[in-house]
Amino acid sequence: MKITKAAVNVCSPGRNFVTFKLETDEGLYGLGDGTLNGRELAVVSYLTEHVIPCLIGRDPFQTEDIWQYLYRGAYWRRGPVTMSAIGAVDMALWDIKGKALNTPVYNLLGGKSRNGVLVYAHANGADIEETIDAVGRKIGLGYLAVRAQSGIPGLDSTYGVAKGNKPYEPAERGLPSESLWSTEKYLRSVPDLFERLRKQFGEDVHLLHDCHHRLTPIEAARMGKELESHHLFWMEDPVPAELQEGFKVIRQHTTTPIATGEVFNTIWDAQELLREQWIDYIRMTVTHAGGLTALKKIADFAALFHVRTGCHGATDLSPVSMAAALHFGMAIHNFGIQEHMPHNAETDSVFPHGYAFEEGYMYPGDTPGLGVEIDEKLAATYPYQRAYLPINRKLDGTLFDW
Ligand code: CS2
Ligand code: MG
């Protein structure tokens, strides 16, 4: 079998998605997600200008060789744009492989290791009362794990809290909006939130929280300590992770489990965190980590150090990436949990798929390949729109981490 054609589709059914499509001389095609939130067209150009011409004529079964060709062959390694482009190609190749062998992708990754993929939902509220209600609604929908983010008293808006009645969406059309930040106010409010949540819902539900890289190691250590009695499933991205050693300080002070890695793109971003056992969950996605070929190796390496996966699954990853994550989560042994933010109805109709949610778990379905399609005609009715993630400033105006 040979690759005969490749193209990139950009659409915006509520938010932007970059979808890569590979076609073969045997009439099979594969899809991959290359969406990089807020920097989508950089990946499109990388794929169109630099990658597609090199793929024509290759054997799509050579997932390993093509991965190495794109990674080593470019000379310029790593980085979110490069790795999302490689991720999109790799996903499409596995999709084709599954279709050609007439089997779902999870069978190519080791087969089923479990009955379903445990997922966590998002619950957001402007204040503690609203967040408690939101968590209750997610539990009512059948979720067994819920991430809770609440507005901070004294701050107008903050990460994870939706504006108006719409679901929280991590991108906005137009130029970046700005929010205000106070670490002091944040540190005071989070323990109260989880104390109330445990009182209300008991110990059975898994509760998670995302700090979104906003603390220093010693501040994160304090927060982890104060949350210990509320038994969080994890505290996510406590600090920015360029300095992997920063996690050592947190680890020395608290038993609250730690998750990080949604912005990582290769094993080199995490190897010290893993080797030193400073984290409990690694959150890299199939898209940003360079595809299933790379993520499988990362998960196997993490397994040596008791680290499980908790892949990023926000709405800025398309249904193609979600499907790949579910096949992956079904197959690997050290799976931990998968993030699940449901896409809007427009996105679901552009990307018809076989995966489904039921009673706390998701299932990739048994369609050969990844089990996702793209309706290109419908996609064309939702043209690309420039969008950005917000930025964040301290109360005195200093630019801070978002
Ligand atoms: C996040 C996202 O889902 C998460 O945990 O941190 O909201 C993230 O900020 C966006 O996906 C960025 O694109
Ligand atoms: Mg996060």
Domain ranges within the chain, ordered by starting residue: 3-103, 108-367
Residue 162, pLDDT > 80, answer no
Is position 312 annotated as part of the catalytic site?
A: no
Q: Atom 9 in ligand 1: which residue has the minimum CA distance?
A: 170
Residue 188, pLDDT > 90, answer yes
Which ligand does the CA of 314 lie closest to? 1
Confidence of residue 300 (pLDDT cuts 50, 70, 90): very high
Specify the CATH superfamily of domain 108-367: Enolase-like C-terminal domain (3.20.20.120)
Q: Which of 71-75, 151-155, 306-310 has the lowest mean pLDDT?
A: 151-155
**What does the DSSP assignment read for 4-72?**
EEEEEEEE-SSS-EEEEEEEETTS-EEEEE---TT-HHHHHHIIIIIIHHHHTT--TT-HHHHHHHHHH
Residue 26, pLDDT > 90, answer yes
Q: Atom 4 in ligand 1: which residue has the minimum CA distance?
A: 314
Average pLDDT over residues 143-159: 92
Residue 192 CA to residue 268 CA, distance in Å, equals 37
Confidence of residue 124 (pLDDT cuts 50, 70, 90): very high
Provide CATH code, domain 3-103: 3.30.390.10
Paired tokens of 396: 């005195």
For residue range 205-233, list pLDDT tens digits in order.
999 999 999 999 999 999 999 999 999 99
Average pLDDT over residues 21-27: 98
> Could you tell which of 158, 212, 341 is best to mutate to test the pocket of ligand 1, judged by most ligand atoms within 8 Å of the CB?
212
Residue 395, pLDDT > 90, answer yes
pLDDT given at position 165: 67
Is position 159 annotated as part of the catalytic site?
A: yes
Residue 301, pLDDT > 70, answer yes
Contacts of 197 (CB under 8 A, 6+ apart): 131, 132, 135, 148, 207, 230
CB atoms within 10 A of CB 346: 16
Query: What's the whole-model pTM score?
Result: 0.97
Q: Which residues line ligand 1 (CB under 6 A)?
A: 37, 170, 210, 212, 262, 312, 314, 316, 339, 389
pLDDT given at position 146: 98
> Could you tell which of 210, 214, 235, 236 is best to mutate to test the pocket of ligand 1, judged by most ligand atoms within 8 Å of the CB?
210
Q: Atom 10 in ligand 1: which residue has the minimum CA distance?
A: 170
Ligand 1 center to residue 139 CA distance, Å?
A: 21
Ligand 1 atom nearest to 38, measured from its CA = 13
pLDDT given at position 158: 80
Angle formed at CA 229 by CA 161 and CA 270, multiple of 5 degrees: 65
**Radius of gyration, alpha carbons of the chain:** 20
pLDDT given at position 157: 78
- HSE at residue 168, side-chain half, CA atoms within 13 A, is 24
Residue 173, pLDDT > 90, answer no
Query: How many Å from the N-terminal Cα to the C-terminal Cα in the chain?
Result: 45
Average pLDDT over residues 81-91: 98
Paired tokens of 385: 């729109």
Confidence of residue 62 (pLDDT cuts 50, 70, 90): very high
- The catalytic residue among 122, 209, 212, 230 is 212
